[in-house]
Structure 1
Amino acid sequence: MTEFVMVAGAWLGAWVWGDVARLLRAAGHGAHPLTLSGLAEKRDALAGQQTHVQDIVDEITRRDLHEVVLVGHSYSGIPVGQAAERIGGRLSRVVFVDSEVPVDGESFVSLWWEGPERLAASLAANDGWWAPPTAGDLAGQGLSDAQTARLVAGATPHPGASLSEPAVLTRPLGALPATYVKCLLDGPEPNATVAELLTHETWRRVDLGTGHWPMVSEPEELARVLLAAAEERG
């Protein structure tokens, strides 16, 4: 039995994985959606990026999970990539879902695609928090009106310290057994860092013809990809 530990991206909590988790459990596996500190029902907790790394490690060790497929979406690919190397032999595979990946010494802000100044200014304008998306921000991502409303209603401000704190890696990320899921409505190609990682023999790419939130727009397809990833061997 595989144990799937699933971490949502910015603004979201464990709730967003509900449909995918039910499908994985129906297939006979463990499914453990995780809310990071400072978000959703944990929004009152102080959190930097290393807090989020520890949240993930602690969830796995507290539950004594083995044969773990660790899933990170969007922002959470950064703490997930760091946690993956810290759980040792408990890890089976990492799945990055349309996500960022950690780069040693760099932060989410420093690698922001529009430039670090723009994201830093947005955080400063919101008292150190990243404001949740509006319905307009989610347009063109394969979401129905109901799905868009669900995401907007469930989103909470994201702690800026987790975005500005640098990642810490002790070995090359390319050594991990990993699957990268590219959601094509959010752009046809991953960033240059991910493209280089995909040249490693333990990494593989899977494309989904949906937007940046496939756990909401296409949960059945995403569950299928996760189940297939669990069968991969580095």
Structure 2
Amino acid sequence: MFPYRPGFTPCGCYYSPYCQGGWLWRYGATEPADSSRLPHQQRLTFVLVHGSWADAHFWDGVAAALRSKGHIVHTPEYAGHGKDPNKDVTHAMITKSVVDYITRLNLHDIILVGHSFGGSVIQKVAEQVPDRIRRLVFWDAFVLKDGESVADELPPQTRQGFEQLRAVSGNDTIMLPFPLFRDLFVNTATLEVAKRMYAGVAPEPAKPLFEKLDLKAFYALTTPRSYVYFYQDNVLPQGEGFGWNPHMSTRLGQFRLIVGDGDHMTDTITRPAILAQKIYEAGRD
């Protein structure tokens, strides 16, 4: 849910400062060493959809890790994010961005992955292109009930805080204060890593978070689905009618559960290969 960009190097690589000696993820790399590639029948096509306070670069390390195993990976950008200066967007506009990306590239048999707010996006995308989707994967992501908004699933204190930030923004956006970002979104990160990640956070269009969605068509689908849950994710409290798993995951009906030890954002930067493995386990046959 954040647009963190590691330092870009002249050679076209992204530098991660979080491993000794530093390592390089080559942005867009598609030709891994043969020794690490999977048998042809196990190679999958992933479409990774980011969440709020993010852009497509959120997935850079994870995408590189998946590509290194021979998978095809797409990371579409959606309205109101990345280089789009227009913050006056709707949930339908965001959904259309992803649907248009999938249809323009004529993608089929995809593993459609949504993180956080991106869960509500892939719910709506699945309604429009169900024949192109092999499996849906939700990673600590919202699975909304018919007629709900993302804001409806927030604890009252968090929702009230977002409403206050929205009201004072002047352009109907929400900017996360650093203390909230640090404690809820990157709670396992070191302070240095948290600050580096926060430096890339941009104001989020507020309207899509509060729009109630008609999801009757989604709940009529039979598309296979999985849920990836990280135990230390602190964005939503567990219990008392909130939380990722089982509160939201069980709304999927029959689903595959994959668990990991991490928080809401940090592992995309510090342990992308581990996160990529979890997503693969969620998506494979």
User: When the two structures are aligned, how many residues end up with a matched partner?
Assistant: 230
Partner Cα separation in structure 2 for residue 55 and residue 146 of structure 1: 34
2:168 equivalent among 125, 129, 133: 125
Task: For residue 178 of structure 1, report the CA deviation from its aligned partner.
Answer: 1.4
1:23-70 deviations in Å (ceiling 9; x for gaps): 111111111112221123223353111111111111111111112111
* Counterpart residue number, 2:260: 208
Aligned-pair Cα RMSD in Å: 2.3
* Counterpart residue number, 1:92: 134
Answer yes or no: is 1:44 the counterpart of 2:86: yes
Identity %: 27
Which one has the bigger helix percentage?
Answer: 1
Answer yes or no: is 1:35 the counterpart of 2:80: no
* Counterpart residue number, 1:158: 204
C-alpha change, 1:40 and 1:173, in structure 2 (3 Å) is: farther
2:251 equivalent among 191, 197, 200: 197
Once superposed, which parts of structure 1, at least 4 consecutive aligned residues long, lie more than 6 Å away?
Answer: none
Q: 1:37, 1:43 within 8 Å by CA — same for their partners in 2?
A: no
Q: Secondary structure at the match of 1:228?
A: helix
Partner Cα separation in structure 1 for residue 246 and residue 164 of structure 2: 24
Task: For residue 165 of structure 1, report the CA deviation from its aligned partner.
Answer: 1.5
Instruction: Name structure 1 gaps, 5 residues minimum.
Output: none
1:69-110 deviations in Å (ceiling 9; x for gaps): 111111111111111232122101111111112322211122
2:230 equivalent among 169, 183, 191: 183
Partner Cα separation in structure 1 for residue 133 and residue 87 of structure 2: 27
* Counterpart residue number, 1:101: 143
2:219 equivalent among 172, 177, 193: 172
Query: Rg bigger for which structure?
Result: 2
Task: For residue 137 of structure 1, report the CA deviation from its aligned partner.
Answer: 2.3
Instruction: Name structure 2 gaps, 5 residues minimum.
Output: 1-42
Normalised to the residue count of structure 1, the TM-score between the two structures is: 0.87
